[in-house]
Amino acid sequence: MQDPRSANPILVVEDDRNIAALVETYLARAGFEPIVAHDGPAGLELLRRHKPGFVVLDLMLPGVDGWDLCREIRKQSDVPILILTAREEELDRILGFSLGADDYVVKPFSPRELVERVKAILRRSRPAAPDADARLQHGPLVLEPDKHKVTLDGRSIPLTPSEYTLLHTLMSAPGRVFSRDTLLGHLHRHGEAVVDRVIDVHIGKLRQKIEADPSEPRLILTVRGVGYRFAERDET
């Protein structure tokens, strides 16, 4: 299986040069190839030029702030994004995830833990080994683990690593009810502390991409007070 560290470089967008150098050093020690930008416009330029395999993104940036940069990255790519910021309010976390981020780390932080989070997200986003899992299908929605690919009516659906993991989990057991805590466990197997509302944000994004009418979902169903389940075949 391919080592995720052999993939494209990791883009670090951080205006504090000391923090940027710290992150760069620890990523390089772990075998990654970091590239660094100190403002939003430079981050966008490096994104277009190098097509990184991962982005570590500060929010408080000169030129183009991290919120806008995150939006722009998601318009261009489904590359994993880890937000690194001093903003620790729950609403900021929720907004970050709603914009398509895969993880959220608050400063001050442990650089070793940050590297482990990067590795964990890359493991989740890495294609499965051939024949490691069966092709999953529900009507026109198809998930192919060997290709790490989701299609709807034959059209490829771009998903973030977190969205893909959630959809794979739910589709693997139609009818089974998954609590938010259980789904969080599938996303964060390395002890990251996140709020359960993050699951609601990801589910909302998934519904926008795969449901004919996201306001009346027929595939990913809410079980009030518990969590979510994927519809069984005779329900749609």
What does pTM read for this prediction? 0.62
> Where in the sequence is the domain holding 26, given as residue range(s)?
4-125
Distance CA 106, CA 87 (A): 7
Strands 155-156 and 149-152: antiparallel
- Which among 68, 94, 125 is the end of a domain? 125
What is residue 98's three-state secondary structure?
helix
Q: Which of 41, 82, 89, 46 is nearest to 65 (CA)?
A: 41
Residue with tokens 């944000």: 201
Instruction: Tell whether 71 and 177 lie within a shared domain.
Output: no
Q: Which residues, at least 6 apart from 79, have a Cβ–Cβ distance to it below 8 Å?
A: 52, 53, 54, 55, 73
Give the model's pLDDT for residue 5.
Answer: 47
- The verdict on residue 88 lying in a domain is yes
> Could you tell me if residue 114 is inside a domain?
yes
**Domain containing residue 167: CATH number:** 1.10.10.10
Same domain, 121 and 206: no
In this prediction, residue 14 carries a pLDDT of 95
| 220 vs 174: CA distance, rounded Å | 10
Residue-level pLDDT, tens digit, the chain, 236 residues: 334 444 579 999 999 999 999 999 999 999 999 999 999 999 999 998 888 999 999 998 888 888 899 988 888 888 899 999 888 888 888 888 888 888 889 999 999 999 999 998 888 766 544 444 688 999 999 999 888 899 999 999 999 888 999 999 999 988 888 888 788 877 765 344 455 578 899 999 999 999 999 999 999 999 888 889 999 877 76
Helix, strand, or coil (residue 108):
coil
22 within some domain: yes
Q: pLDDT at position 91, please?
A: 83
pLDDT at residue 1, rounded to an integer? 36
pLDDT at 226: 81
Domain count, the chain: 2
In a shared domain, residues 190 and 154:
yes
In a domain, 130, yes or no: no
Query: Does residue 115 sit in the same domain as residue 29?
Result: yes
Backbone angles phi, psi at 10, to 5 degrees: -100, 125
